[in-house]
Amino acid sequence: MSSTLIVLPKEFAYPVATAVSSFYLLLWQTIKVSRARRAAKVDYPQVYADKAEAAVNKAAFVFNCTQRAHQNTLEVLPVVLTGTLISGLKYPIAAAALSGAWVLARVVYTIGYSTGDPKKRNMFGAGAVGGLGLVGLIGLSTASVVSLLKAL
């Protein structure tokens, strides 16, 4: 069995920095969810206010929207982080740009969704920008892996 040496490009710091920025995104979202939970009086371990409560209590509906924005971020984050680091090996600037766009889009998405109007989650094209970042990272990761495999 032979080994392959992976040399990190000096620009690899950029995708790593955008990956770290996602930690702050999650921290901020967690704080927003905690505040919305407190305002809605939704006790732990209940993940969401139930549908009947959210229908008559605006704070409960806002909590559900805020919690959903956070949950959706958590659902996609493993792909974004993995894609950022893998694609950053070969395309560090592009990986950082796509990852950074995704993080910024998630901020806008969260701000909009946490208003209690689910349609606002895509204000300023947040859904399209975030989707472009995600799909771009998947494509660049694939290209990076193909490049590594060709080097075998």
State percent of the chain over pLDDT 70.
99
Closest CA to 63 of 73, 50, 74, 75: 50
CATH of the domain at 110: 1.20.120.550
Confidence of residue 152 (pLDDT cuts 50, 70, 90): confident
pLDDT score of 116 more than 70: yes
Rounded to the nearest integer, the mean pLDDT of the chain is 95
- For residue 79, tell me if it sits in a domain: yes
Domain containing residue 27: 11-150
**pLDDT digits 0-9 by tens, 74-111:** 999 999 999 999 999 999 999 999 999 999 999 999 99
Q: How confident is the model at residue 16 (pLDDT cuts 50, 70, 90)?
A: very high
**55 lies in a domain?**
yes
pLDDT over 70 (residue 24) = yes
Domain-embedded: residue 4: no
What's the rounded Cα separation, in Å, for the pair 14 and 119?
32
Concatenate the DSSP letters of all residues of 16-44 into one string: HHHHHHHHHHHHHHHHHHHHHHHHHT--T
Report if residue 92 sits inside a domain. Answer: yes
pLDDT above 90 covers a percentage of the chain that reads: 91
Say yes or no to pLDDT of 49 above 80: yes
Classify residue 27: in a domain, yes or no.
yes
Cis status of the peptide bond prior to 45, with omega within 30 of 0: yes
* Model confidence pLDDT, tens digit, residues 27-38: 999 999 999 999
Domain annotation covers residue 24: yes
Residue 6 inside a domain? The answer is: no
The reply to whether 5 falls in a domain is no
Number of domains composing the chain: 1
pLDDT value at position 7? 84
3 confidence band (pLDDT: 50, 70, 90)? confident
Residue 1 has a pLDDT of 66
pLDDT at 11 over 80: yes
